[in-house]
Amino acid sequence: MDLRSGRHGALYSLIWSIKSMETTILGLSFSTRMLGLAVFKSNTLIDYSLKLHKEMWSPQKRDLVLASLASCIKHYTITDIALSIPDEHQQTKAFKELQEAIEGFARNHDMQVTLYTAKEVYQRFGSPVKRTRNALMTRLVLLFPELSLYFEREKVNRNKYYVKLFEAIAVAAYHSQEK
């Protein structure tokens, strides 16, 4: 019996449409130098990465960041983007330019963009007493044990390297919970 026809066809179509409507979230925490990415689907962390762009800020660097996003969006069929945004006084002109480019890119690809302040993200996943990077990373390691290696490396790093990765995971998890 062909499941796509008759009475079973309606059920098959319903299941297919529900699966195709699943939300896939790309969490981003970025600066003009670092880009943390995290992908959540069905409240599950399925991928994460950190990209470092050492060059000086330029339109070419902006295009390089957008190309990184395009490949991730195509590979995972992203439906929503969650951005972690620092406080206003920490945003440079180049940061704002990159944020506008990411939001424009998302609009052009019919994706919803939601902005979360870093304070919101740290309040959700950090310690209720002390909202620090270390508290955020500690809490995320409890939720996602696969991050423990990056947390251990970060503790010994003189220059903080993995913070944007953890922030991206946190903002994607936050957005996933809000959905």
For residue range 41-98, what is the model confidence (pLDDT) as tens digits? 988 999 999 999 888 889 999 999 999 899 999 999 999 999 999 888 889 999 999 9
The Cα–Cα gap between 119 and 123 comes to 6
User: What's the pLDDT score for residue 114?
Assistant: 96
- pLDDT over 90 (residue 18): no
- pLDDT over 80 (residue 131): no
More confident residue, 106 or 5: 106
User: What's the pLDDT score for residue 34?
Assistant: 92
- pLDDT over 70 (residue 127): no
User: What's the pLDDT score for residue 119?
Assistant: 87
Domains and CATH numbers, the chain: 22-178 (3.30.420.10)
| Residue 154, number of CB atoms within 10 A of its CB | 18
User: What's the pLDDT score for residue 178?
Assistant: 86
Q: What percent of the chain has pLDDT over 70?
A: 86
Residue 61's closest CA among 28, 101, 32, 104?
Answer: 32
- pLDDT over 90 (residue 5): no
Residue 92's closest CA among 159, 31, 171, 28?
Answer: 31
* Amino acid, single-letter form, for residue 102: I
Question: Which are the contacts of 122, defined by CB distance < 8 A and separation ≥ 6?
Answer: 131, 132, 135, 136, 170
More confident residue, 53 or 129: 53
Residue 85 contacts residue 117 (beta carbons within 8 Å): yes
User: What's the pLDDT score for residue 106?
Assistant: 94
The Cα–Cα gap between 74 and 129 comes to 40
Radius of gyration of the chain (CA): 18
User: What's the pLDDT score for residue 124?
Assistant: 87
User: What's the pLDDT score for residue 4?
Assistant: 41
The Cα–Cα gap between 25 and 72 comes to 11
- The pTM for the full model equals 0.84
Q: Provide mean pLDDT across the span 26-48.
A: 93
User: What's the pLDDT score for residue 1?
Assistant: 38
